[in-house]
Structure formats: C-alpha cells, structure tokens
Structure 1
C-alpha cells in the first residue's frame, strides 16, 4: 500500500518526512512543492555523501559536492519527470561527475582518494572483464523491482528506509524484495537459455538451472557432470547460488564505472545530515524556475554510449548502461 506525496509530516529540526515513494515525491517537486524535496534529501544525503567520500579525501569538499549534487537534482526534478532507474543511482552519477571535474580542474592538487584519482587518470574506464548477463537481467525487470534490489541488496540499506523509498509498509517491502529476487533469477536463466540455444549439450541442463531459480536445487547426475565442465552453465549456476553477492559486486561498477563498495558503506555510516534548512535548497527555491511544461532537456536518462553522449573519456562496452549525471552536457569527461 503506497501513501500519497501530500502526506508530509514535520520531523525534528524542521525536516519533513513522507511515506510516499521517491517518484511520487519527485512529481510533487515538479508541481511546485519543494518541501517534498527535503524528504528526498533526508533519505539519500548520507549515501551520496558516502559515495563522494570514496572519491574525495577532504570532508569539507565532499560536503560541498554533496550539496551541489542535490542542487542539480532539484533543478532537474522541477523540470523533468522521474527516470526509470533508482533515483540514487543517478545521484551517484552526478556526484561522480563533480569529482571528475574537481580532478580535471586541480589535477595533482585535488584532494581525491588514491583509488578515484587512479580511476580518473586512467580515463574513467568501465571494467572490461565483468560478466554482463546478470546486469542485463536486472535491466529487464520492472522499475519497482530494480529499485527494491538496488536499495535492499546492492546497498543493503535499513529495511525501514527501503520501505519508505518504495512507499510500502515494511512487510510489503520485504515481500517485494523477495519477488524481485525471484524475478531476477528466472530472467537470468531465461537469458542464458537463449544465449546457449546453439549448444545442444546445454539444453538438458537449463531446466535444472530453472528449477534452481524456483528454489528447487536438486540436480541430476548428468546435469551435475555437465556443470563441472561447461563454463557457461557453471557460471550461471554460481550466479544463482550467490545472487545477492554477485549482484552487489557486479551491478554498481557496470552502471557507474567507479564503485568502492566497502568504502561506501564505511563512509555512509560516518556521514551525518547537515543542518536544516539546507542552504542549497534555500538558494534554489528563491530562484525562478521553468514551468512544468518546459521542454525536456538532454539530461539524466540512462543511455548507452555514443559519439555524442558518453559519460567519460573511455566509454563502457557497447550495450552496457551508462548512467548520465543530472544536467549532463554531453562532454566525454565524466561531467
């Protein structure tokens, strides 16, 4: 059961909370209700600040770039409808672009973490040795399932926060996460079935993988022997056996390029919300904005790489998603 965006209620320090899902709050912002954005900031600030903490070594600079990320997000929310991917993924892409601009501007003097500096100096390349089928299965899922899996599995967020982001009661959110995982399993197996259709030797084993996806792990002796010597079937079976862990390791780096999962969890846990009211939001709400019917600009959609619209100087492999920052200008430098 979802709740309505108008059900914002005061919270300590003058903040507002809402049980409405993120897309509904973003639509409320688009229709002139900036208070809805404060609820979004409260949900996502610490994680975005944690992501920037894996890019930028200076705390004050990380705080400043976090505010800049949300200012860009607010401007886009006033103009454009929500996208399909989880909103936080696009916040991370925007934060990453801000850190890349800092590196381009200040070079060796930029207060960056060693890992991010090396990644940026190498061209911000997406990894070329990561398997793709699990990520492709994720992209096929309905948007609510993608959202549930990102927050509950990839980021391992607190269950109460996941429920608020989804606009559900906590028990309903848990049920949605379970359904999303089941859908991911079956979609992953179906993609593999299609990819292996030209290999007759795999055909008898694929139903066994489907049974595993449905929670029935028993394998025939012939299927077990086939898994032992077939890399494709063996990898798919390993994905199914550790679906949460593999999704957590593979998806962020393929969507974002830069990802330090352990560092992000550490930095997120240490991050604190800034004082309210948010300075960046006060400035943004004081400025006149475009009407809701303003033309849609070329910004934060999730798109594949092309010669005109790529996110970093070294682009991802063809067919992989490239998540663009809010306010993306089409430059090939991560900004």
Structure 2
C-alpha cells in the first residue's frame, strides 16, 4: 500500500478535510469496507507525535511502533462503532497509548517491551494511568470543553504549534482559529473554577471560591488572612490555586500533566516548537510559525524518560491498521451484527 500522504490518490482532497470530516468518512457506509484513505490521512497527521510518545513508554523502536499501531487501531475500530473522538484525535491517541501500555504491564509477554518505570505486575498502581490529585480540576475542566476547544488548546498550548496546525485539523481559517483559541482559554479557566466548586471538599471551599479565583488572577501574592488560613489547611483549595494560575506557559503544562501524568514533562520537552523556542528564544516565540519538522535523535538509556527519535508512519503500520480483514468483522452502528 502506498504511503498515505502525499502519495495517496486522495491526498489533495484529504488536506482540505478537517479531522471531524475525516472521521465522518470513516463512519460513512461504503459497501462492506471503510474508506481506507480517511484512515491513512488521520494516520499521517498524527503518527509522528504518537509514536514519539510511545517511545517514552517502550524500550525499542519496534515496540513503540506496535504500541502506536495498537492505539490507532483501537480508535479506528471505535470510530466504526460511532464512539471515540471526532475533532480531537491527538490527546485521545496519547491516552490510548497509556491505556494499552497499562494492559501490557499485566501481560508477561509484553512487559519486557515497556520502559522499566511502567513494568511490574506486583505493583499495578505503578503501571496503570492515574489521576494526579493536584490536576483533578484541570482534567475535569478540559474534558468538559467541546472537542474543537480541546483541539485548539492541545495543539496551541501543549504542542505549541502554529495556529495553522489546529486550524487545518478543525477546517478553520487561522484568523477564526485565533479568535476561537482566545474563547477556549476563557472557557477553560471558567471550567476550572466550576470544577473547584463542584469538587469542593468543605463548605468553606465554596465560600472562598470566588475570592480565590480573583486573588490568583491578581497574582496570588497577597491573600486576605481568612483565605490564607483556609488555603493552608485545605489541600483542595491549595491545589486549586496552582491550577487556576494560567500565567505564562502554564496552560499547556497543566493540561499535559492532567492528561498524560508522569510522561507529561518528557512529552512537552520533545515537542519541536518548544525545543526550537528553548534553543533560539530570540528567533522563535513560544508558538512556532510553521509545522513541526523532526530531526533524528538516538534512543538514550532507560534511566530516565527518553527523548524522541524520528519516525514516519511505516508501510507496515499503514497496512496493519487499514487492512480489510481488520475491519471486516467490525459491526457498524445500525447493522444487525453484534446486537
């Protein structure tokens, strides 16, 4: 099978479609088989960051490729069943990598393929993804947002990509994407405040919620005595104060830590736009003006989370994921199979 992009005969048409439109193509009845070109385009758009994240969880390029392919396959099968993401594929794919890695940790045949930090059947809490207590508000707030808002925040804030990237994925103009990104930031912060109230541990948390919000927005350096005493005694509000601080680059860091947990920092450090900003701050701002380009990097030892290596979607992965036999037995919504 040819590489999906740009060699596919549908390549020109695919680039004009948003991720949501591609997902609708995946779900659209087309005889007995799905439209392979829509799978291929979604694979081409998201393979590189997903396999780089999988490399943080595994000990070899081969294992990372298998883990990445398994994540794509799981979401593609879900799409055929009318479940899973429509417009926000990237974080869903990364979370799916986490979930499958946790499953591998309980499988003696797969354990050796995982990064040492993720192994150990005797300690399941080490391997299984968990919700960090100090990121619960951010996680709840992010999940409450509509998919286009999550897509914008993930690609602009976490990946630090230029706005043309999420604009293309959403089928928007860069100008419209910029306006919607600002709106998404406002909605995200409001959702964090709402989550603080919804998850309040004590009645006092509700009383101080608005004051805490305003104090953090003003810098959080001079809290009124009553609020200061409450925050000192209440971990819920103490964690909330940190999560309501959206200054500087914190939005992307907070979201990544809420969604990816332990591997968040390593993933953030591996993002090309962020790396370029660190290496040439006077030339490149926090949001790169072009699509990311990846340079080959050797796989380091496994004493710490590894960095990234260059990897394009291999033909074997494309063939595995979009193989007719793989999806031929998957019942689509509305079919009689599986009822």
TM-score by length of 2: 0.66
Aligned to 1:271: 310
Asked if residue 23 in structure 1 is aligned to residue 15 in structure 2, the reply is no
Asked if residue 12 in structure 1 is aligned to residue 13 in structure 2, the reply is no
2: CA distance, partners of 1:297 / 1:94:
24
Q: Is the 8 A contact 1:227 1:234 kept in 2?
A: no
Aligned to 1:185: 189
Pick from 157, 171, 175 the counterpart of residue 179 of structure 2.
Answer: 175
Asked if residue 284 in structure 1 is aligned to residue 324 in structure 2, the reply is yes
2: CA distance, partners of 1:47 / 1:176:
24
2: CA distance, partners of 1:219 / 1:69:
41
1: CA distance, partners of 2:266 / 2:154:
16
Q: Is the 8 A contact 1:26 1:36 kept in 2?
A: yes
Give deviations 1:164-205, integer Å, cap 9, x for gaps.
2222122322222211111122232344456489339955x8
Aligned to 2:106: 104
1: CA distance, partners of 2:91 / 2:122:
19
Pick from 204, 208, 220 the counterpart of residue 199 of structure 1.
Answer: 204
Aligned to 2:230: 230
Q: Is the 8 A contact 2:132 2:258 kept in 1?
A: no
2: CA distance, partners of 1:274 / 1:50:
11
Give deviations 1:218-246, integer Å, cap 9, x for gaps.
8997x555554431666544433336755
Q: Is the 8 A contact 1:46 1:273 kept in 2?
A: yes
Q: Is the 8 A contact 2:138 2:258 kept in 1?
A: no
Give deviations 1:301-325, integer Å, cap 9, x for gaps.
xxxxxxxxxxxxxxxxxxxxxxxxx
Asked if residue 155 in structure 1 is aligned to residue 159 in structure 2, the reply is yes
Q: 1:102 to 1:173 in 2, by over 3 A?
A: same
Q: Is the 8 A contact 1:119 1:258 kept in 2?
A: no
Runs of 4+ in 1 over 6 A off after TM superposition: 218-221, 295-298
1: CA distance, partners of 2:220 / 2:182:
23
Aligned to 1:55: 57
Residue segments in structure 1 that go unaligned for 5+ positions in a row: 1-9, 299-335
Higher relative contact order (CA 8 A, sep 6+): 1
Q: What is the total number of aligned residue pairs between the two structures?
A: 284
Give deviations 1:225-273, integer Å, cap 9, x for gaps.
5554431666544433336755544545554566343146537853322
Q: Is the 8 A contact 2:71 2:97 kept in 1?
A: yes
Q: Which aligned pairs between 1:3-152 and structure 2 lie closer than 5 A?
A: 11-14=5-8, 16=11, 17-31=14-28, 32=30, 33-83=35-85, 86-106=88-108, 110-117=112-119, 121-123=123-125, 124-125=127-128, 126-127=130-131, 129-152=133-156
SS at match of 2:119: helix
Q: 1:254 to 1:11 in 2, by over 3 A?
A: closer
Q: Is the 8 A contact 2:105 2:121 kept in 1?
A: no
TM-score by length of 1: 0.67
Q: Is the 8 A contact 2:135 2:258 kept in 1?
A: no
2: CA distance, partners of 1:168 / 1:161:
10
Residue segments in structure 2 that go unaligned for 5+ positions in a row: 271-305
Aligned to 1:293: 334
How large is the RMSD of aligned CA atoms in angstroms? 4.0
